[in-house]
Structure 1
Amino acid sequence: ASVHLIPRHFAPQILLIENTRVFVSNQLLAMRSPFFNSLFYGEYKEREKEEIELKDVKLEEFLDLLDFVYEFEQAQFIDSNVSHILKLADRFSLTYMFDNAQQFLKRESRLDASKKILLAETYRMQSTMDYVVFGLCQEEIEELKEKEEYAGYSDATKACIEARLTYFHNAPTPPPRLSPSYGLSSDSE
């Protein structure tokens, strides 16, 4: 099987993914990725091959990634693709994708905080980490600490979460509620 993302005469490189030939622009991929630049133009034996096999890559996930590389209009981060797009962007050194992924995770994603924190930690997205952790209330932090993902967090991430929890424990007590009739609350009422 073959997948032509661009006309064949503009796609001088064939990538073999899960036994499917994917025709890509080696120039565009090389411009956007040091990994592909080295693969196509470096001192590797693969550059002489007509087809280059990419192992341990799922075809559908790679096609999602190429939507972003080629800047197709339908290329949007959604909760079901952000994880594998980040994984492949990291693997193939497509670092420019991380800014948009972070904006998505902060503003649009409906993933729960534990998954966002795991992605932020895995892909070294500190601003996303700070945004998510700072947005947690005390109850959410307590729930987070009970989740399976929490055990896999690094010590630094756990310390960040604990620091947020400490904030709640050390926060000043709120002022007394105002009485509706006098404007002040009183223990004698």
Structure 2
Amino acid sequence: SLAAESPFFDRLFFGDFMEKNMSEIPIGDVEYEEFANIIKIIYGFDGDSLTGSFSSVFRNIVLYNLEMNSHRILELADRFELKIVEDGVVYVLLASKSHSIHEKLVISDQFNLTFLK
């Protein structure tokens, strides 16, 4: 479940909040497609990826060509406390030839990603 991957969603779904009883929970400042990309990264397009599998997360970032959206994906991963997504994006950035060293360092600094520094 999404709650298993994210303390944010665990609190939202199972914490003492009114949202846990809602059938639909609005999430502001995120487009549908952006959130769908996060779900695809974790679970794959058809839900076949194993939750918590780093190799699946990495594969899905590459498979869905989401590398170019890495900055926004990192913003959402940070906001929703999705460490496995953050780690996958970092790994893709390390292997990336389409991002310059400067771009990688700027992203690293902005998100305090010591792994990229």
TM over 0.5: same fold? yes
Between Structure 1 and Structure 2, whose CA radius of gyration is higher? 1
1:173-188 to structure 2, matched below 5 A, reads: none
How many angstroms apart in 1 are the aligned matches of 2:42 and 2:85? Answer: 9
Which 4+ residue blocks in structure 1 deviate beyond 6 angstroms? none
Deviation at 1:109, TM superposition (A): 4.0
Other-structure match for 1:99: 87
How many angstroms apart in 2 are the aligned matches of 1:105 and 1:99? Answer: 10
Unpaired segments ≥5 residues, structure 1: 1-27, 130-189
Other-structure match for 2:22: 49
Provide the aligned C-alpha RMSD in A. Answer: 1.8
How many angstroms apart in 2 are the aligned matches of 1:50 and 1:60? Answer: 20
Unpaired segments ≥5 residues, structure 2: 50-58
1:137-176 to structure 2, matched below 5 A, reads: none
**Structure number having the greater helix percentage:** 2
How many angstroms apart in 2 are the aligned matches of 1:87 and 1:38? Answer: 19
CA contact (8 A) 1:30 1:40 kept: yes
CA contact (8 A) 2:67 2:92 kept: no
65, 70, 76: which one pairs with 2:61? 76
Other-structure match for 1:88: 76
Other-structure match for 1:39: 12
How many angstroms apart in 1 are the aligned matches of 2:61 and 2:98? Answer: 14
Other-structure match for 2:106: 118
CA contact (8 A) 2:61 2:88 kept: no
Change (3 A) 1:42 1:80: same
User: How many residue pairs are counted as aligned between the two chains?
Assistant: 102
Identical amino acids, percent of aligned pairs:
30
**Structure number having the greater strand percentage:** 1
Other-structure match for 1:148: none
Instruction: Determine which structure has greater relative contact order: mean sequence separation of CA pairs < 8 Å that are 6+ residues apart, divided by chain length.
Output: 2
Other-structure match for 2:2: 29
Other-structure match for 1:59: 32
How many angstroms apart in 1 are the aligned matches of 2:60 and 2:94? Answer: 18
